[in-house]
Amino acid sequence: MKTLFAFFVLLFVIPANAAVVDEIAALEKHKTMTKNNSTQPRAAPKVKSQTFRLSTGQVLNITHWQIVHFMKSDCQYCRQFNPVLNSVAQQLGIPVFVYSFDGLGDSTFSNVLPVTPDVISEFFPELPQVTPTDFIVNTQTLVAIPVSQGMLSPTAFVNRLEQSFGLAEKLGVLQ
């Protein structure tokens, strides 16, 4: 009796699976036809090479690095430091990705993401959750290196960036 029941179940399941497979094949065929009908070859977007010159004169490729900045909208030090960070980042041509502990931005960085527990455990496993805090992060390998905590002058921040990029090079993770 069980064998007969299994036979009838398979009798209904196999055509259903075949229909699904046929639908997927039709969708894939449509994708292939669209790709083959295009007349212009698509080139991969070129990433502009970005460099950072150390005080020693050595030039580092920082194309795949960005600053990850942690702030809080009511932090007085963030309000003072954020314009400094933004100015330095623009001068160096390095993007800034901003997380906010309260989920709110400010006049300098209005586009922020709220901090999640995963982000905290990744960036602050042994560091105090102080704002402002900055890291450099490789966007391809996700290697994160601390840069600073607290408010700094533009010169001091550039010096800390130099130390952090120098460390990345010594560790062999600069790429």
Of the candidates 54, 48, 84, the one whose C-alpha atom is nearest the C-alpha of residue 165 is 54
Which pLDDT belongs to residue 45? 55
pLDDT at 22: 56
Residues facing residue 51 across a β-bridge: 61
Query: Are the C-beta atoms of 78 and 106 separated by less than 8 Å?
Result: yes
Neighbours of 10 (CB within 10 A): 10
Residue 43 falls inside a structural domain: no
Contact present, 141 and 173 (Cβ < 8 Å): yes
Number of domains in the chain: 2
- Report yes or no on 45 lying in a domain: no
pLDDT for res 49: 82
What's the confidence (pLDDT) of residue 3?
47
Residues of the chain whose pLDDT is less than 50? 3-18, 20, 31, 34-35
In the prediction, which pLDDT does 48 show? 75
If asked whether residues 9 and 62 sit together in one domain, one would say: no
Domain contains 44: no
Range(s) of the domain holding residue 18: 1-38
Paired with 146 in beta bridges are: 135
Q: What is the pLDDT of residue 92?
A: 93
For residue 114, give Cα distances in angstroms to 71, 100, 111, 126, 128.
Answer: 10, 5, 10, 20, 17
Whether residues 73 and 144 share a domain: the answer is yes
Which pLDDT belongs to residue 11?
Answer: 41
Residues 141, 58 share a domain: yes
Grouping H, G, I as helix, E, B as strand and the rest as coil, residue 68 is strand
